[in-house]
Amino acid sequence: MSVDTDSHQHGYINDKEHYLGRMKRIEGQARGIAKMIDEEKYCIDILTQVSALTRALQGVATGLLDDHLKHCVLDAAKLSDEAAVEKIQEATDAINRLVRS
């Protein structure tokens, strides 16, 4: 049994505006880094900003993962063991991708 991911609200829905705001700030950070490169700023200063951008993206990722576990996995567990196992595997795969990145 595959859980339909489009038939229910996603876990982040209550924080959607928060995530969108964070992503807009991240977008601005990325543009700022591009501008620093274009203006030939000091390498270490650019690397510092890349590090900050990476941490910001990791914050979004861990927040979404937390929402997935608290909502999507929990909701799936209420449906069936099979649905829960599927959602847990999705979370495990996502964690593995995050760790490798």
Query: Taking 60 as the threshold, does the pLDDT of residue 32 lie above it?
Result: yes
Token pair of 15 as six digits: 């924080």
pLDDT in tens, 70-98: 999 999 999 999 999 999 999 999 999 99
**The CATH fold of domain 13-100:** Methane Monooxygenase Hydroxylase; Chain G, domain 1 (1.20.58)
Query: Taking 50 as the threshold, does the pLDDT of residue 62 lie above it?
Result: yes
- 78-82 long-range contacts (CB < 8 A, ≥24 apart) are 79/3, 80/1, 82/1
The domain locations on the chain are: 13-100
pTM for this entry? 0.78
